[in-house]
Amino acid sequence: MTGLRGIQGELATLFAPQVEQLGMRLERSGGLWLGRARGGVARGEMWLCSPLPNCLVLVHDVTPLGDMRLLEESSGPYLCACSLFDDARACSRSCGLPLRSLGAQRPGPDAPGRRAAGASAQELATFFERAARAHESDLLAGRSYRSRSIILLPGFFDELERRYPGEFDGIPDLFDGARGGAVRPVVGRALGAIPDRPSGRPGEELELASVVHSLAAGLAACRCAQREDDPNADLAREATRAILEAVEQGERPPSSGELARRLYVSRSRLCAVFKEQVGEGVGAYARRARLGRAQELLQNDRLAVSQVAALLGYPSASAFDHAFSQALGMSPRAWREAGGR
């Protein structure tokens, strides 16, 4: 795909493979680019805009006409806040993106993204992709893949730091899962202000720039409140990060005692702070994180259940089967055969 005026190369890398593989043709409309699937690969549309340097707003609504494997890549670090509908949720998890769920949200009756036929539930999520990476996603025929995303390159925060020294420090940590409860309404408002389809009215690109600025300002306020009002937040964040890193690396999540020793605090203080900040105990959080990763991996039919068990650090497939069945009431194999629901 040739260069797109107004879109940085690092941003174009994030969507160009999708455009090509889905048989789309992008056409410029003011400050936006609109694409519609043509040919026999898929039906649907996407649109995108870079309302500010180092920033991309991207909206998909695509249904493949046949099963296909979508190849995607990034050329460097980036941060993303997204709302995932329908099958886009399972697809984004199975391809290995380091998603941090902020929970489900249903748009209100006046939300720009609400469809006339009724709005379906959406999952809000953020993630911080820290290095260049390639992903493969298996898209299924007839399934609906809908999402809205705000993507930010590190240069976006570099510019904020230059203009407002110290005021936006630490915001990337919020994309990595810290303080999800506080971040959710900020992310939800921003993504909810992005329509399914652009209106075509004058000033739309400026409106999107305002949405991105509001997201950054809201996250800065969350970070400030975290520092001023919550002295235990850093401890909880370090603990959750250690658990999530272990899960992603296929290791057994650390116990509360191991975490306490690693973070140089007493076990009783860690447990109390963790429960206060996260809303559940260390063990429950670790089990839920491990189970969520298991569900992501099970979406990939190329992985045997025994391989999934090994990737999660279980000592045996039977141990994985027992833990999974105890949590969900069915075996991993049965869950996969039921369509991952």
Residues 67-106: tens digit of each pLDDT: 998 888 888 889 999 999 878 877 776 677 788 888 776 5
Q: Which helix (H) or strand (E) holds 223?
A: helix 204-229
The domain spans of the chain are: 9-106+117-229, 233-337
The single-letter code of the amino acid at 161 is E
| Dihedral Cα 104, 226, 194, 16, nearest 10 deg | -90
The closest of 288, 277, 296 to 244, measured between CA atoms, is: 288
CATH class, domain 233-337, is mainly alpha
Please state, in angstroms and rounded to a whole number, the distance separating the CA atoms of residues 278 and 333. 31
pLDDT digits (tens, 9 = 90+) for 294-339: 888 888 888 899 999 998 889 899 999 999 998 888 999 998 888 7
The tokens 């046949």 sit on which residue? 66
| Beta strand pairing call for 145-152 and 78-86 | antiparallel
Q: What stretch of H or E contains 334?
A: helix 332-337
The tokens of 325 are what? 């069945």
pLDDT digits (tens, 9 = 90+) for 35-61: 998 878 999 999 999 999 999 999 999
Match 């930010």 to its residue by tokens. Answer: 152
Q: What stretches of 95-170 show up as alpha helix (H) in DSSP?
A: 154-163
